Structure 1
Amino acid sequence: MACHKSFTQAKFKILFAIDSSEATDKAFKFYFEHVHRPDTAILLVHCPDKPNLPTFSWKSGGHYPADEIAKVMHEHNKKAHDVEYKYTADLEIKKVAHHVKIIDSDHQSVGQRLVAIAEEEKVDMIVMGSRGMKSIMRTLLHSVSDYVLHHAHVPVLICPLH
């Protein structure tokens, strides 16, 4: 999806990692209030959380829970679409050239994928929110923003939630 000018032809390109968190909202607002320039295009990158699919169901007599899986997948897809639409609609209103990339983190961590996409797309900066985990939690949970900050080859703007 693109708006007005082509994403690939923009003078500056920003990779903006999005999810359904308040931290992403805050980062988006901060970016547009303090950083955005008119000759910049935005690459929205979304890695939807994996749905927790049931593998066994008492409701279906212990059989494969196809109906329950279909319901979970429908809700999962709607949530992912809503997140993507929220930010693309705002970019359309602002008349900012943009593109959306949806990634799957099965083979690599989300942080690794974001760094790889930044290199592939030759972006000039990465912008993302951070939930503000303490250092021990970042170490244990492998913070995406921490990984990107230490492995990206372009400037990284991380907006903390707090």
Structure 2
Amino acid sequence: MTDKRRKVLIAMDGSDHSNATFDWYMKNLRHSDDHVLLAWNVDTLPSSYGNVNLMTGDPDVISRSINEHATHVNHIVKTLQQKLTDSNVSGCVLQLHGHSSGEAIIKASEREAADMIVVGSRGLGTLRRTFLGSVSDFVLHHAHIPVCICRFDKVIK
């Protein structure tokens, strides 16, 4: 027998918009037997932390920065997992590692055989979207499954 649960990939980035997107999904789209994949594109280790350039070659600075980054990643993953637990939702957290969040989301949706993608939108204007790009726009135009874009003019914390 095959698993008939709907797999819903929700793109998360820790922002108020992505948290509002999760809440909107819970209120408006959730089915009781959904399996939710909270997908977060993990930031790569930056070349600098604050005023500290990691290219100095100082092993202590590099080690400390790597440990801080790992702690940050673990904190985000635990926070997202807790969001699923607190909401009594079946699912898991996917750590994506892509240069482009949009591409990483598309690849994850294909790899996980997701049935739907839910993504938030910051509502960038045309000019800003042209220069900055838009994850939701990319996902909408490259996904081969239904995409729900949640746009919020104002997110209440």
**Whole-Å separation in 1 of the counterparts to 2:4 and 2:85:** 16
Q: 1:148 matched to which residue of 2?
A: 139
What's the CA shift for 1:38? 0.1
Q: 1:4 matched to which residue of 2?
A: none
What's the CA shift for 1:84? 1.8
**Whole-Å separation in 1 of the counterparts to 2:71 and 2:54:** 21
Deviation by residue 1:81-102 (Cα, 9 ceiling, x = unmatched): 2222222112123332212221
Does the aligned pair in 1 maintain the 2:80–2:93 contact within 8 Å?
no
- Contiguous gaps of at least 5 residues in structure 2: 48-52
- Contiguous gaps of at least 5 residues in structure 1: 1-7, 58-63
SS of 2:145's equivalent?
coil
User: Pick from 54, 57, 82: which aligns with 1:89?
Assistant: 82
Q: 1:32 matched to which residue of 2?
A: 26
Q: 2:39 matched to which residue of 1?
A: 45
In the alignment, structure 1 residue 66 sits paired with structure 2 residue 59? yes
Q: 2:50 matched to which residue of 1?
A: none
**Whole-Å separation in 1 of the counterparts to 2:78 and 2:35:** 17
**Whole-Å separation in 2 of the counterparts to 1:13 and 1:138:** 29
**Whole-Å separation in 1 of the counterparts to 2:89 and 2:55:** 46
Q: C-alpha root-mean-square deviation of aligned residues, in Å?
A: 1.9
Q: TM-score, normalised by structure 1?
A: 0.80
Letter matched to residue 119 of structure 1: E
What's the CA shift for 1:150? 1.0
Does the aligned pair in 2 maintain the 1:47–1:105 contact within 8 Å?
yes
Please say which of residues 24-33 and 45-54 is displaced more in the overlay. Answer: 45-54
Q: Percent identical across equivalent pairs?
A: 33
- 1:104-123 to structure 2, matched below 5 A, reads 104-106=97-99, 109-123=100-114
What's the CA shift for 1:10? 5.1
Q: TM-score, normalised by structure 2?
A: 0.82
Letter matched to residue 140 of structure 2: L
